[in-house]
């Protein structure tokens, strides 16, 4: 197997075996990555690449919206934010506007960092709970 194929297989396996909260973090990291690439591509006047990266970011945001669990109130707030981010990216793609991409990148980083912290806290709570159960 060629090195690139081995890496692709590793990435694919890591997605298939990841916990849901880890998949969300992967998606947030992908969103940040594509927005950063879009921002650099706009600066470098690589318009086609910028458009591709913005569309990939929009696709991730659409996935976030689609997978929201609507029984929680926070989902409504997240949906509004995701909708805003998506609409702004459509505008950014039409205008190839670096400032809009930068704005959405800020939101994406904040959401990613929040998710990462919440995930760590949840894992710590699960470990404490499991340790408590084993001690009984």
Could you read off the pLDDT of 97-118 as tens digits, one per residue?
A: 999 999 999 999 999 999 999 9
4 within domain boundaries: no
Q: Which residues contact 13 (CB under 8 A, 6 or more apart)?
A: none
Whether residue 49 lies inside any domain: the answer is yes
- Which uninterrupted H or E stretch holds 37? helix 20-43
Give me the CATH number covering residue 104: 1.20.120.340
CA distance 42 to 52: 11
What is the number of structural domains in the chain?
A: 1
Asked, for residue 126, whether it belongs to a domain, the answer is no
Mean pLDDT, range 7-21, rounded to an integer:
70
Judged against a pLDDT cut of 60, whether residue 58 lies above it is answered with yes
Name the pLDDT band for 62 (thresholds 50, 70, 90): very high
Domain extent, residue 75, equals: 20-108
pTM for this entry: 0.84
Count Cα atoms within 13 angstroms, Cβ side, for 78: 21
Instruction: Please say if the pLDDT value at position 5 is more than 70.
Output: yes
Residue 84: inside a domain, yes or no?
yes
Q: What share of the chain is helix, strand, coil (3-state, %, to 5)?
A: 90, 0, 10
């Amino acid at each position: 197997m060629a090195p690139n194929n081995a890496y692709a297989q590793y990435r694919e396996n890591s997605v298939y075996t990841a916990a849901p909260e880890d998949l969300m973090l992967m998606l947030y990291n992908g969103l940040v990555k594509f927005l950063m690439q879009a921002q650099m591509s706009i600066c470098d006047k690589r318009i086609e690449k910028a458009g591709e990266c913005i569309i990939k970011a929009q696709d991730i945001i659409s996935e976030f919206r689609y997978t929201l669990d609507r029984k929680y109130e926070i989902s409504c707030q997240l949906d509004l934010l995701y909708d805003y981010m998506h609409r702004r990216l459509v505008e950014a793609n039409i205008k190839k506007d670096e400032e809009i991409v930068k704005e959405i990148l800020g939101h994406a980083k904040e959401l990613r960092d929040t998710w990462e912290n919440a995930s760590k806290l949840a894992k710590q709570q699960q470990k404490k709970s499991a340790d408590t159960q084993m001690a009984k």
